[in-house]
Structure 1
Amino acid sequence: MKLQYQLNAAFTALLLIIMAVTFYVVYSLILNLLIQDEQRQLEQKGEIIVSVLDEAFISRENIRGFNEFLQEQDLQLFLYDRGQNMVHFSTLPTSVVTGLFMNNDFSNPNEELWEYGNEKYVTSRILIVPQSLGLELILLTPLQDLQIVQQDFIVRMLIVFLIGALVAIGLSYFLTRKLVTPLTRLKYQLKKIENRDFDEVEPIQASGEVKEVAQSVYDMANELQRYISTQRTFFQNASHELKTPLMTIQGYAEGIKEKIFEAEEEEKGLEVIVSEVNRLKKIINEMILLAKLESEEISYHQEKIALTDLINKVMERALPIATEKGVTLQQQVEEQLYLIGDEERILRALLNLTFNGVRHGHSQLLITAQESNGQVQIIIEDDGEGISEELMPHIFHRFVKGKNGETGLGLAIARAIIEQSNGKIEASRSNLGGAKFTLSFTRD
């Protein structure tokens, strides 16, 4: 069953249950309320009649006067003598009076409902002053009259309930349709993702949590498309990076084997082979390291790292290559700064970024460590040509390298290490004129 039908069925069932409970409670209470209201009205009428009787007829000898006065009232009533336990007068037929008197205890003031045959009567009793007369006025209303009012009320209530139910079910259908329609459209978008038709995935109009899920699906599709594209580019670049040194090695090896080189050229060929083998070894090792970093196979040893010591180690290891390139290393490190992470891994990331800056810088490389907005920031910037606008969005992808780049894996490894250390890395243009890499870490 479709979700829309399930929601409508659940809402309708809940509505019917609520209506049934409400109907039962109202049906049970309405008759009692009608009886109580009728008793109050009878009591009010009785008190008016008794007040008139008290003023006009004040002795038992005037019972005949009582009877004549009561006969004029358009009410169902008894004039009951408590002392003699007898009815002096009634506006009801004699057979009904006899039946009621025989089937009910007139002397019991707590008996509010009287029965005669299939009929029931609601009663209200009022004493006639002076109480020494022992006379009591009893007014009656057939319960059937109240039940007719009850049934009329229930019919009207059922009509209101039915109209309300139809409106509620219609509103439910409209709301569930509004809720389910985006989900149906989302299903089609997921089908496109399943078929890898990422270019055809479109954002859908929705609201609330459905909108958030739809946006997540749309972002996921874009990320999958980017990932697959990156993987495709990775394999293309990897094959190119590996094929070039292998072809060089193969060419010199076959030349040496066929004795086509002179002794001096043969020696040079062997040096090239060793150099290309070392290059291959470096590329493969970095590929393996990057794969481990991204698959979280490497365990991180969390410890408190003083930034002063960490930056000093970076400067010491980068000094030889910087001196060779004629690049001056500078540092600006705030005191008492630290971060939590794996010192060996973070050092590797900083060295990759520093070596990258030394290779591309003209004369200067600056490393800054500071606290900003509750975060520890490490900034590495050079005065080289900087990163081109076309390369900027892809600078941390594998085998993406600029001019004078080596394997194209150093920045990808640095990003993986920083992100595994709960940090963030960004690339931008430095005020020195070259590239700027900003690393941000939380204090704890």
Structure 2
Amino acid sequence: MKLHYQLNAAFTTLLLVILSVTGFVIYSLILNLLVQDEQRQLKQNGELIVSFLNEEFGTIQNFQQFSDFLEEQDLQLFVYDKQLNRVLDSTMSKNVENGFFINNNFTDEKESLWEYGNDKYVTSRIAFYPESRGLELILLTPLNDLQAVQHNFFVRLLIVFIVGTGAAVLLSYFLTNKLVTPLSRLKLQLKKIEKRQFDQIERINATGEIKEVEQSVVEMAEELQRYMKSQQAFFQNASHELKTPLMTIQGYAEGIRDHIFDKEDEEKGLEVMVTEVKRLKTIINEMILLAKLDSEQAVYQPEEIRVSELIDQVVDRALPLVNEKGISFVRDIDADLMLHADQEKLLRALLNITFNGIRHANSQVKIEAKKIDRTVFIVIADDGEGVPKDLVQHIFHRFVKGKNGETGLGLAIARAIVEQSGGKIAVEQSELGGAKFVLRFSRQ
């Protein structure tokens, strides 16, 4: 069953359950309310009659004089003497009077419902003044009359419930349709992603959590598209990077085999071949390392490391290249900074970034480490020409090389290591004028 129908069925079922319980409770309470209201009205009518009789006929000796008056009233009533425990008069026949007296306890003033035959009657008792006379006026109303009112009220309530349920179901259908339609359209967009039709992805008008899901789907599609393009670029660049040294090696190897070169050129060719083989080995080793970093969590062995000691190792390894280029290496490290990461891998990432900065620096490379709130920042900056704007978005992709770049894998490896260590890396414009690589590690 589709979600649209499931939501409507669930809402309708819940509504019917609520209305059924409400109707049952109202049906049960309405009779009690009608009985109470009828007793109140009987008491009001009885008090008027008693007040009138007391004024007109005043004493018990004049009782026979108001018997005719009671007969004229369109009411079912008794005049009851509590002291004698007998009915003095009533507006009903003698048989009915006797039947009531036999079936009910007239002395029980708490009993509000009397029975006669198969019917029940609501009663109300009003005492004559003074109460010492022991006379009471007892008025009755058939319960069937109240039940008829109850039934009529319930029928009307049922009609209201039916109309309300119909309107609620229609409104539910409209709202669920409005809710489910974006999901159905989102499903179509996911099908396009499945078929890799990224250029045909359409935005969906939605609100709330569905809008958030739609945004996530769009971002996922864009990321998949970038990933696939980067993979295509990776294979193209990889084939190009591998093809160039292989062609060089092949050309010299064939020339040496066919004795085209003289002895001096053969020696030179062998040296070039060895150099290109080393270059191939470096590229392949870095490709293998990058693949392991992306796919094998076991290659990471995180531990608590002191940042200052890590930076010392970077400086020691970079010092020969710094001296060779004649540039200054400035460091500014906060004391007692700690990170939870694989020391060997993170050292490799920092060396890749640092060597990259040294190659592009004019006179200075600066490395900083500080902690802000619960985040540790490691910043490596140089005063070189910086990263071209067209390369900023792709600088960490594989085989993307800037000026004087080597394999194009160093920064890709650095990013993989930093991200696997729970950090983030970004490149910005340095205050020194060149590039600035910022590594962020949040401590939980």
What TM bracket, shorter-length normalisation? over 0.9
| 2:151 aligned with 1:151 | yes
Please give the alpha-carbon distance, in whole angstroms, between the structure 2 residues aligned to 1:313 and 1:59.
122
Shift of 1:253: 1.6
| 2:6 aligned with 1:6 | yes
Kept after mapping to 1: 8 A contact 2:293/2:299: no
SS at match of 2:214: helix
After superposition, the Cα gap between the structure-2 partners of 1:385 and 1:97, relative to the gap in structure 1 and judged at 3 Å, is same
State the partner residue of 1:429.
Answer: 429
State the partner residue of 1:250.
Answer: 250
State the partner residue of 1:267.
Answer: 267
Task: Choose 120-129 or 404-413, whichever is displaced more.
Answer: 120-129
The correspondence of residues 73-222 of structure 1 with structure 2, limited to 5 A, is: 73-222=73-222
Can you list the C-alpha shifts for 1:294-346, whole angstroms capped at 9, x where unaligned?
11434433333333322221111112122223333222223333333222111
State the partner residue of 1:336.
Answer: 336
Please give the alpha-carbon distance, in whole angstroms, between the structure 2 residues aligned to 1:380 and 1:105.
103
Please give the alpha-carbon distance, in whole angstroms, between the structure 2 residues aligned to 1:83 and 1:339.
100
Shift of 1:58: 4.4
Q: Give the structure-1-normalised TM-score.
A: 0.94
Please give the alpha-carbon distance, in whole angstroms, between the structure 1 residues aligned to 2:366 and 2:299.
31
Task: Choose 70-79 or 222-231, whichever is displaced more.
Answer: 70-79
State the partner residue of 1:237.
Answer: 237
Can you list the C-alpha shifts for 1:226-260, whole angstroms capped at 9, x where unaligned?
11111111111111111111111122122222222
- List runs of 5+ in structure 1 lacking aligned partners: none
| 2:434 aligned with 1:438 | no
Can you list the C-alpha shifts for 1:259-318, whole angstroms capped at 9, x where unaligned?
222111111111111111111111111111111111143443333333332222111111
SS at match of 1:394: coil
Q: Give the structure-2-normalised TM-score.
A: 0.94
Can you list the C-alpha shifts for 1:125-152, whole angstroms capped at 9, x where unaligned?
2233344433321101111221222122
1:123 alignment partner AA? T
Shift of 1:215: 0.9
- List runs of 5+ in structure 2 lacking aligned partners: none
Kept after mapping to 2: 8 A contact 1:362/1:384: yes
Please give the alpha-carbon distance, in whole angstroms, between the structure 2 residues aligned to 1:368 and 1:135.
107
State the partner residue of 1:37.
Answer: 37
Shift of 1:376: 2.1
Kept after mapping to 1: 8 A contact 2:77/2:138: yes
Please give the alpha-carbon distance, in whole angstroms, between the structure 1 residues aligned to 2:18 and 2:308.
71
1:144 alignment partner AA? N
Please give the alpha-carbon distance, in whole angstroms, between the structure 2 residues aligned to 1:410 and 1:97.
112
Percent sequence identity over matched residues?
Answer: 64
Kept after mapping to 2: 8 A contact 1:376/1:440: yes
Shift of 1:40: 1.9
Please give the alpha-carbon distance, in whole angstroms, between the structure 1 residues aligned to 2:443 and 2:194.
41
Kept after mapping to 1: 8 A contact 2:379/2:437: yes
State the partner residue of 2:390.
Answer: 390
Please give the alpha-carbon distance, in whole angstroms, between the structure 2 residues aligned to 1:353 and 1:132.
112
| 2:41 aligned with 1:51 | no
| 2:22 aligned with 1:22 | yes
Please give the alpha-carbon distance, in whole angstroms, between the structure 2 residues aligned to 1:111 and 1:394.
92
Please give the alpha-carbon distance, in whole angstroms, between the structure 2 residues aligned to 1:4 and 1:345.
52
Can you list the C-alpha shifts for 1:392-437, whole angstroms capped at 9, x where unaligned?
1100000000121111000000111111111111112223222211
Please give the alpha-carbon distance, in whole angstroms, between the structure 2 residues aligned to 1:68 and 1:17.
56
Kept after mapping to 1: 8 A contact 2:39/2:124: yes
| 2:356 aligned with 1:353 | no
State the partner residue of 1:376.
Answer: 376
Kept after mapping to 2: 8 A contact 1:339/1:442: no
Q: State the 4+ residue runs in structure 1 displaced beyond 4 angstroms.
A: none
Shift of 1:372: 3.5
Kept after mapping to 1: 8 A contact 2:292/2:299: no
